[in-house]
Structure 1
Amino acid sequence: MGRLFVAVGDSFTEGVGDWEPRLPNGVRGWADRVAKQLSKADPSWRYANLAIRSRRLDRIINEQIDAAIALKPDVISFYAGGNDILELRQDMDRFLDRYEAAVDRLASSGAQILLFTGFDIPVHPALVPFKHRNWKFNDRVRQLARKHPDTVTLVDYWAWDIYHDQRMWDIDKLHMNRAGHRYMAIRILEILGSQHQLEFQPLEDIRRLSPVQLLQRDIEWIRQWVLPMFGRRLRGITLGDSLEPRWETPIYPAKGMKKQFRRRQRAAAELLHGDAEGSVR
């Protein structure tokens, strides 16, 4: 049947920022790119992606971890906690204990586990406390990689200086853009020791902005992204509430991911059409 790669987590793993309307949930992301390259080296590779944007740790644990382990994968990527760190009231010690328990559960599966540190994203001075939380999270991730040296592989995203370049980020400043996801895929393939055909194109020159333009951009960013995000949190809703996992059932990427998505869309449309006809009768 071949080997299986399962991706677990939130928007980082779902692929937000790498927009592609011809794929599920309108995104591609580094995990899709890794799966595609693995399948080019060996067409028997299968791939599932259970990640959904805005998911917090507890829902990822409840909805994705056992489902991922049940698939008996060879590789599981696990990135969770970014949304928890941004919660206004968060007990970091309790959160990190739950995170460690999740990693222990994954490590016991026998699969190779990819764990990620969180990048030290530049933020407004008012948000600096969240950076301190991220540093504490990263310390625990590194400890867990040392705790499970035979099964856990550390992807030390925090240490990759190229992500200090704003051209690696989407307009919301929280998610990687297409270039960021492509570079992430390349680095993970290298960590896995897999051959690949991905190339990272040099970034274009930065367009220099005046101090006034920088201020205007930051104000617009806060208005369009930061305030709505915290507003959703206060209302208890998320951007992922209406979404399903992109690739819940394992696929063979070598057979064409866009082609398989189109087939899935046609099947859903035919089912909906059949239900509509039945209701008319």
Structure 2
Amino acid sequence: MRWRSYVAVGDSFTEGLDDAYPDGSFRGWADLVATRLAAEAGPDFRYANLAIRGRTFPNVVAEQVPAALAMKPDLVSFAAGGNDVLRRTFDPDDLVGRFDEVVGRLRADGADVVLFRFADVMARLPGQRLIAPRVALLNRAVGETAERHGATLVDLYADDTYLNPMLWSTDRLHLSPAGHRRVAGQVLAGLGLGCDEEWLLVPPNPAPTPWLSARTADLRWAGQHLAPWIKRRLTGRSSGDTLAPKRPSLAPLILTDPVDPAGG
């Protein structure tokens, strides 16, 4: 087996929001990928997940990348920048340059690296005119960086399946359990491994919502999700300020998850 250690680096996307274990903690695509790698590698496999929700690209680079490099893993997944494109301080030139530098450091240390072009979430969120070009710029930079450094690219943006709202949670920003399973399947495919075919199955699109019901849902979403997000931005706070990584060091993965990691 090629990979006996895996470190996941990033923000809420990699932490696993909103794919909950029975105890309320979050699983997500990275845990699912780790279960498949562990099933293949055996008891020597080690996994760490350093991702914390709300982290911006500079936070990830300063806090998580040095820790990941110190662990000297065989495989690293790196997904950052999604929170940055939502902020008025977004500096595309700085982020693109630093993205390439960070991936170069990870590759130079001998690790295989997985990168992501982010799925299109803006169809369900306000600010599309401002944010969508930033996402396109970031995705283009990720693709170019992956090619330049020989990283594995998982192109979620090219998959129109993610336009299905059933792959997203009620906050319209984070993946649902079905969305996380699909991402895990695509990561494993990029690594040349298989998974349970059900991971790639997509729930049917919901029936069209009547106009009044849709506007009521929008207002409810704004009160439950948008308003708290705006308040955090105004007060300089983050949803992950008091949190630590869920798997801060490389450790064995106990395969107790009911989802079949090997498939078939």
**TM-score (normalizing by structure 1):** 0.84
Displacement of 1:204: 4.3
For the residues of structure 2 that align with 1:135 and 1:243, how far apart are their CA atoms? Answer: 30
1:214: which partner in 2? 214
1:66: which partner in 2? 66
Matched letter for residue 219 of structure 1: L
Alignment coverage as a number of residue pairs: 254
2:135: which partner in 1? 134
2:261: which partner in 1? none
> Do the aligned partners of 1:117 and 1:141 also contact (CA within 8 Å) in 2?
yes
> Do the aligned partners of 1:54 and 1:238 also contact (CA within 8 Å) in 2?
yes
Report matched runs for 1:91-240 at 5 Å. Answer: 91-121=91-121, 122-124=123-125, 126-149=127-150, 152-197=151-196, 199-200=198-199, 201-204=201-204, 206-240=206-240
> Do the aligned partners of 1:38 and 1:196 also contact (CA within 8 Å) in 2?
no
1:8: which partner in 2? 9
Displacement of 1:21: 4.6
Displacement of 1:59: 1.0
1:262: which partner in 2? none
* Secondary structure class of the residue paired with 1:158: coil
Matched letter for residue 3 of structure 1: R
For the residues of structure 2 that align with 1:257 and 1:19, how far apart are their CA atoms? Answer: 12
> Do the aligned partners of 1:37 and 1:197 also contact (CA within 8 Å) in 2?
no
For the residues of structure 2 that align with 1:128 and 1:228, how far apart are their CA atoms? Answer: 22
The structure carrying a bigger helix percent of its residues is: 1
Which consecutive residues of structure 2, in runs of 5 or more, have no partner in the other structure?
Answer: 259-264
Misfit runs of 4+, over 6 Å: none
> Do the aligned partners of 1:46 and 1:253 also contact (CA within 8 Å) in 2?
yes
For the residues of structure 2 that align with 1:105 and 1:16, how far apart are their CA atoms? Answer: 28
Matched letter for residue 35 of structure 1: A
> Do the aligned partners of 2:114 and 2:152 also contact (CA within 8 Å) in 1?
yes
**Percent of residue pairs identical:** 38
Which consecutive residues of structure 1, in runs of 5 or more, have no partner in the other structure?
Answer: 259-281
* Secondary structure class of the residue paired with 1:159: coil
Displacement of 1:143: 1.0
Superposed CA deviations along residues 190-241 of structure 1, whole A, max 9, x for unmatched, are 1111233462345145143101111111122122212221220121111111
For the residues of structure 1 that align with 2:12 and 2:186, how far apart are their CA atoms? Answer: 19
Displacement of 1:85: 0.6
RMSD of aligned C-alpha atoms? 2.0
Displacement of 1:244: 0.8
